[in-house]
Structure 1
Amino acid sequence: MKILIIEDEAALLSVIRDALGREGYITEIAADFDQALDKISTYEYDCILLDIMLPGGSGLELLSEIKKNKKKEAVIIISAKDSVEDKVNGLDLGADDYLAKPFHLAELNARVKSAIRRKNQNGDHKVQWRNITLDPDNRTVVVNNADLLLNRKEFDLLYYFVTNPNRLINKTSIAEYVWGDYTDQASSLDFVYSQIKNLRKKLSTAGADADILSVYGVGYKIS
């Protein structure tokens, strides 16, 4: 799962990034309005942590842009501005949550998990795809009531596919989601094929009622 942190305070940004990284998230950062707008317009995320006051513009303008483009990311505003008016404005514009600074990292992590659950999992703690059950909080997978051991990248791949059922996803989007932004600049995306091949084999061996189909020259989808 991938999170974009939009925050101009370098020390806080680093602390948040390290904390979420320890929880297993892929994290990307933006420290000003223009950089954040470029990231939001170009890449996909599960959750965006959004500061209101940014060099070059307002986080609320970015939130409006997210909603105007019908992007599905969960958005949590993190701001030192703790007035009722700011909270109401942010929530009215479509934010999923509002967390006032300073905050405990444990609370931030809980809010992120909750927001992603609501957006990707219909509020459920687990994701079900036929005879496959994923528990994102604990990063575990069960197939036919038996545990399936996946590494971090394989789990993220499977989660991305089952939360986008029957959607044809191109290789670049898969690489960016699992390995981070700017993998579109890599000279080769062969590592995507290699990881998907390993995941397919594990799913087949476990008797999973699903397959990751390859569409030549385009990408993959679960079916």
Structure 2
Amino acid sequence: MKILIIEDEESLQRSLDTYLTAEGYTCSNAKNYDIAKQKLALYEYDCILLDLGLPGGEGLELLRFLKEKDRTDGVIIISARNSLDQKIEGLSLGADDYLIKPFHLSELNARIASVIRRRSFEGKDHFTFNEIDVDLKGKQIKVKDQIVYFTKKEFDLLLYFMTNKNKAISKAAAVEHIWGDDADMADSFDFIYTHIKNIRKKLIDAGSNDYFQSIYGVGYKFVDQ
């Protein structure tokens, strides 16, 4: 699961990144309006943590940008502004939640999980795709009641494709979604082939159909056969 932290206060940004990474999320960061807008234009996120007062622009304008693009990313506003009017405006522009600073990281984590479940999994901790059963809370996957063991990256990558089924995903998008800002350090994205090959083999060996489809010149698609 991928989180974009849009926060200019460096100490808070580091705390959020460290905590959420330890909780199993992949985090990307943006410290000002321009960087945030560039990342939002290029990538999609499971949840966006959005500060309102940003160097170079206003956080609510980023919400308007997402709304204009019909994006479905979850958004939690994190702000020191305890204004009813701003809460109403943010929620009316598509934000899922509004959290006043300072807050407990454990509360933020619970709200992120709730937003992701509601946005991507209809509020459920389990979902089933044909013979594949996914336990989101336990981070466990079964095929025909048999547990299939995946690494964290494999689990996140499979989940990313399953929640975007029938949609062509480029290698670059897959790598950035799973590795976050560290994706920029890769010389190429060819290693994504190895991860998908491993996922396919584990699923097929457990009795699953092969739902991955290679798209020449683009990447891969998880198809609903």
The residue number in structure 2 matching 1:72 is 72
The residue number in structure 2 matching 1:21 is 21
The residue number in structure 2 matching 1:151 is 151
The residue number in structure 1 matching 2:191 is 191
Rounded to whole Å, the distance in 1 between the matches of 2:123 and 2:107 is 18
The residue number in structure 1 matching 2:32 is 32
SS of alignment partner, residue 180 of structure 1: helix
Question: Residues 82 and 100 of structure 2 are in contact (CA less than 8 Å); yes or no, is this contact kept in structure 1?
Answer: yes
Question: Residues 17 and 27 of structure 1 are in contact (CA less than 8 Å); yes or no, is this contact kept in structure 2?
Answer: yes
Shift of 1:219: 1.1
Rounded to whole Å, the distance in 2 between the matches of 1:156 and 1:61 is 30
Rounded to whole Å, the distance in 1 between the matches of 2:4 and 2:127 is 22
| 1:166 counterpart = 2:166 | yes
TM-score under structure 1 length normalisation: 0.95
Number of aligned residue pairs = 223
The residue number in structure 2 matching 1:2 is 2
Superposition RMSD on alpha carbons, in Å?
A: 1.4
The residue number in structure 1 matching 2:53 is 53
Shift of 1:147: 1.2
SS of alignment partner, residue 102 of structure 2: coil
Rounded to whole Å, the distance in 2 between the matches of 1:11 and 1:181 is 18
Rounded to whole Å, the distance in 1 between the matches of 2:56 and 2:189 is 35
Shift of 1:184: 6.2
Question: Residues 132 and 208 of structure 1 are in contact (CA less than 8 Å); yes or no, is this contact kept in structure 2?
Answer: yes
Question: Structure 1, unaligned stretches of length 5 or more?
Answer: none
Rounded to whole Å, the distance in 1 between the matches of 2:139 and 2:187 is 30
Question: Residues 48 and 73 of structure 1 are in contact (CA less than 8 Å); yes or no, is this contact kept in structure 2?
Answer: yes
Shift of 1:187: 3.1
The residue number in structure 1 matching 2:126 is 126
Give, as a single letter, the amino acid of the residue that structure 2 aligns with 1:148.
V
Question: Residues 132 and 209 of structure 1 are in contact (CA less than 8 Å); yes or no, is this contact kept in structure 2?
Answer: no
Aligned positions of 1:100-139 closer than 5 A: 100-139=100-139
Rounded to whole Å, the distance in 1 between the matches of 2:165 and 2:195 is 19
Structure 1: 4+ residue segments shifted above 6 A: none
Rounded to whole Å, the distance in 2 between the matches of 1:210 and 1:113 is 29
Question: Residues 21 and 27 of structure 1 are in contact (CA less than 8 Å); yes or no, is this contact kept in structure 2?
Answer: yes
The residue number in structure 1 matching 2:99 is 99
Shift of 1:216: 2.1
Shift of 1:181: 4.0
Rounded to whole Å, the distance in 2 between the matches of 1:41 and 1:88 is 25
Rounded to whole Å, the distance in 1 between the matches of 2:7 and 2:102 is 13
Rounded to whole Å, the distance in 1 between the matches of 2:207 and 2:24 is 27
Question: Residues 43 and 181 of structure 1 are in contact (CA less than 8 Å); yes or no, is this contact kept in structure 2?
Answer: no
Question: Residues 47 and 116 of structure 2 are in contact (CA less than 8 Å); yes or no, is this contact kept in structure 1?
Answer: yes
Question: Residues 200 and 210 of structure 2 are in contact (CA less than 8 Å); yes or no, is this contact kept in structure 1?
Answer: no
SS of alignment partner, residue 98 of structure 2: strand
Rounded to whole Å, the distance in 2 between the matches of 1:115 and 1:197 is 31
Shift of 1:211: 2.2
The residue number in structure 2 matching 1:220 is 220
Percentage identity across paired residues of the two chains: 50
Rounded to whole Å, the distance in 2 between the matches of 1:130 and 1:164 is 15
SS of alignment partner, residue 77 of structure 1: strand
